Amino acid sequence: MTTMKHVHSGKIRDLYELPGGELLIVARDTISAYDFVLDTPIPDKGRILTQLSLWWFERLADVVPNHVVSAEPPAGAPAEWAGRCVVVRRLDMVPVECVARGYLAGFGMTAYAGGGAVCGVRLPPGLAEGDRLPEPIFTPTTKAPQGEHDEPMTYAEVAAKVTPEVAARLRDLTLAVYRRGAELARERGIIVADTKIELGWSATGELTLGDEVLTPDSSRFWPADRWIPGRPQIPYDKQFVRDWLTSPESGWDRASGAPPPSLPAGIVARTREKYVEAYERLTGLSFR
């Protein structure tokens, strides 16, 4: 039996240290929104995120190396971890959230409406919600502690934090991952509006892709055949949960500081359906 030492629990993942120095990441079924971890799990969500990330890591291997060592649970791991855990190399994580945007939505839309720019990147006038940008842009944020909110950063602020050379590499890798992901997803009928990735330095000093990649938690996915600029899009991601939480139906006042309410069974089931559909459309595989 492999001895595992618990070292950290995040919003949706638990981290264990293995005897050989590798780490074991186990994805739970919890879901977060507006910096809260909701008390209602989404069945199978952890397995979907893990399996979809593994699929993407393979298809991005020629773009950027990743941290995966094995997708097999170590000896003695609980049976329920199967499909939701991955053994990874340790990385020294970059202190910046690396975000790429190809369409105007979410924070990008809010920032643009307030001043015509996103994270210091000036955009053309007259863009509407859901519009495709002239080209994908790098819109990094800070990495806030759990429960706090990531703050937007300009490229100059990133360069000051990690050096200009590293900032250029972060930008180039983030946009390369986005472009590859958006191209493959579009072939499968899904628009990747934006995505967030985690990068860190390996033991040999190489920038490496970690955590999860191009999942419904880290990206905005829209059905390409139902994309209509000028309005909110139909989500294949956790935006569906965010939208319910801010609707009159939930009864939650986001500005109150109170935690969000539990999700109704119907919202839970529909969210799971959206995650499964995104997985199946992207990979061409059946989720069981």
- The answer to whether residues 27 and 73 belong to one domain is yes
The reply to whether 206 and 270 lie within a common domain is: yes
Q: Is the pLDDT of residue 64 over 60?
A: yes
| Alpha-carbon distance values, 51 to 12, 85, 184 (Å) | 15, 9, 17
The reported pTM is 0.94
170-191 pLDDT, tens digit each: 999 999 999 999 999 999 999 9
118: which residues sit within 8 A by CB, 6+ positions away? Answer: 101, 107, 108, 111, 112, 137, 139, 152
Other CB atoms within a 10 A radius of the CB of residue 47 amount to 21
Q: Give the H or E element holding residue 157.
A: helix 155-162
In a domain, residue 260? The reply is yes
Q: Count of alpha carbons within 13 Å of 22, Cβ hemisphere only?
A: 17
Task: List the one residue out of 200, 178, 114, 201 whose CA is nearest residue 152.
Answer: 114
* DSSP three-state, residue 48: helix
pLDDT at residue 236 greater than cutoff 90? no
**51 and 116 share one domain:** no
39 plus 137 within the same structural domain: no
Same domain, yes or no: 262 and 196: yes
Look at residue 147 in the predicted model and tell me its pLDDT. 59
Is-contact 122 133, C-beta < 8 A? no
Pairing of strands 98-103, 117-118: unpaired
Query: pLDDT digit string (tens) for 116-127?
Result: 999 999 999 999
Confirm if 209 and 95 have CB atoms less than 8 A apart. Answer: no
Examine the domain organization and report whether 80 and 109 are in the same domain: no
Please answer whether residues 111 and 187 qualify as being in contact, where contact means their C-beta atoms are separated by less than 8 angstroms.
no
Residue written as token pair 């298809």:
59
Write the pLDDT tens digit of every residue in 201-219. Answer: 999 999 999 999 999 999 9
Residue 257 lies in a domain: yes
- The Cα 31–Cα 237 span in angstroms is 11
Evaluate whether residue 288 is within a structural domain: no
Q: Two tokens at 42? A: 């989404």
CB 159 within 8 A of CB 167: yes
Looking at residue 187, which CATH number applies to its domain? 3.30.470.20
- List pLDDT tens digits, range 85-126: 999 999 999 999 999 999 999 999 999 999 999 999 999 999
Q: Residue 238's pLDDT band (boundaries 50, 70, 90)?
A: confident
- Same structural domain, 177 and 279: yes
- Both 102 and 76 in one domain: the answer is no
State the pLDDT at residue 143. 87
Examine residue 140 and state whether it is found in any structural domain, yes or no.
yes
* pLDDT value of position 97: 95
